[in-house]
Structure 1
């Protein structure tokens, strides 16, 4: 099951993640899918991860600010206290949202103390839950036990993930998350190999999760675009878009189309 399917079904799901970048990508998908469907999204225990999710939403053009004109906040931080979650969910429903999504960050070994609370809430309220467990914190046999605690398991495979850069697929697109520079040769090889394996008429990269791209990496990526039908780069910050466009201009045989994100500059070098 995918993240989008979990959101559509409104159930109590879970996922095993291999890195912080996987968390950023998968929880970010879950949040974005929920907001696009008009739900209120509650996040617990995020800490510094909250900024990554908000940056992702900003690049997607999502407006999060609450005001009298826009109505109640659609993304809310909730206390890392399972006993307080019922009130947070009911408050969102009282504000008129058709449904509520709940996720966050599980940073301690063992089963999250939220599990029994969210299981009951998912049965009695229009609540969709995604419980993100880091593989490094799971003990022997715990995956089997967690399967029994949840309605469904979300699968989030990666073609490459070294916790500095992550490459995965969603639909037709290759998704680049994290930092990519010319010194990370293994990551570059993974991108080039995956690009070569894409269908000739649908070579698409989603770079909305890319935090950093240097010139040497951009040069290698543009070289992979090749002649028509070439490559579409979507979700780029304006700054990253300018870098890729400038590099492509020096490679007349490569056809690259850049679709920039609605907001936010991003670091390139």
Structure 2
């Protein structure tokens, strides 16, 4: 199950799988910001040794990293210092380090502990990294105590798919950026494609009760996004009614020449509906249908 960052609670051991830094930034800044606001202590383990990239992200989100660091509410530490202090990955030592962090922050009066770690270090061949799966399974017990929460960040461009599937399976679930709209049936979430171009991920059901939310999200992306193609990833879409399809066609028709609305991963059955009503001929509307299973 994939949840929003705002829904992370003590006891969670989650993964964030991202294909571009923009997606990673959205998750990390929300996770850190929520933790600081709720009185928790936050540890960020980053593949940027100086932590400047994360500081920049947090600063752009209005977080005073200097003050948070000075008061001990926020610690930025390199992944190597956190996971490989001896030059090798030691499962027991890493779990013991995290337990000390939990005990220390509770003793200092914080309401809890959050840790966010980039996991790219595990692909650099250090001794012991073959035990990462073991670590991810075992460390879950620490978070199950309900005093701390973690997000492990996995770059899908770096980790082979089979390896990534095994690792994310060691977590309670996944996490993604907070949704722009979520009514229990439809979820619209900002994201990025592998090139970093912004897109909207549309999952669930679009019907007369919530099609206005999709239209509003599209208008915002048109207004605030870059002046290139507008992208909708509909891999998670279960159903869209005629009103929703009409909004897609209407949006595409309003685009200036050279700019297109690209509908990605639309189920073939839904694409056929678009064709039947003739909206596939709308200038500027590009349908990228998902592959039919063999």
What TM-score do you get using the length of structure 1 for normalisation? 0.55
Q: Could you list the runs of 5+ residues in structure 1 that have no partner in the other structure?
A: 181-186, 201-219, 221-269
CA shift in 2, pair 1:153/1:192, >3 Å: closer
Task: Assess, with a 3 A threshold, how the Cα gap between structure 1 residues 29 and 48 changes in structure 2: closer, same or farther.
Answer: farther
- Between the aligned partners of 1:49 and 1:189, the Cα distance in structure 2 is 34
Q: Which runs of 5+ in 2 are unaligned?
A: 84-93, 124-129, 178-188, 203-212, 234-243, 248-255, 257-294
Distance, in Å, in 1 between the alignment partners of 2:153 and 2:230 is 26
What is residue 38 of structure 2 aligned with on the other side? 37
CA gap of 1:11–1:65, structure 2 versus 1, over 3 A, is same
Matched residue of 2:51: which SS? helix
> Which residue does 2:228 correspond to in 1?
189
CA shift for structure 1 position 65: 3.6
From 128, 153, 168, the counterpart of 2:149? 128
2:115 corresponds, among 102, 107, 110, to 102
Cα distance, 1:35 vs. partner?
1.5
Distance 1:129 1:193, change over 3 A: closer
Contact 2:23–2:191 under 8 Å retained in 1: no
Q: For residues 117 and 73 of structure 1, do their structure 2 counterparts lie closer, same or farther at Cα, with a shift above 3 Å needed?
A: farther
Q: How many Å separate the matches in 1 of 2:193 and 2:22? A: 8
Equivalent residue for 1:161, pick from 193, 207, 211:
193
What is the Cα deviation at residue 101 of structure 1? Answer: 0.7
Match in the other structure for 1:208: none
For the structure 1 residues 162 and 13, does the alpha-carbon distance in structure 2 shift closer, same or farther, using more than 3 Å as the test? Answer: closer
Q: Provide the rounded CA distance (Å) in 2 between the counterparts of 1:46 and 1:131.
A: 12
Pairwise CA distance, 1:133:
0.8
Matched, 1:86 2:125: no
CA distance in 1 between partners of 2:45 and 2:134 (Å): 12
CA distance in 2, matches of 1:133, 1:65: 27
Task: Measure, in 1, the Cα distance between the counterparts of 2:49 and 2:230.
Answer: 28
* 1:139 alignment partner, one of 160, 176, 181: 160
Partner in structure 1 of residue 183 of structure 2: none
- How many corresponding residue pairs? 185
Q: Aligned partners of 1:39 and 1:169: how far apart in 2? A: 30
Match of 2:15 in 1: 14
- Higher normalized helix content (fraction of residues): 2
TM-score, structure 2 length as denominator?
A: 0.51
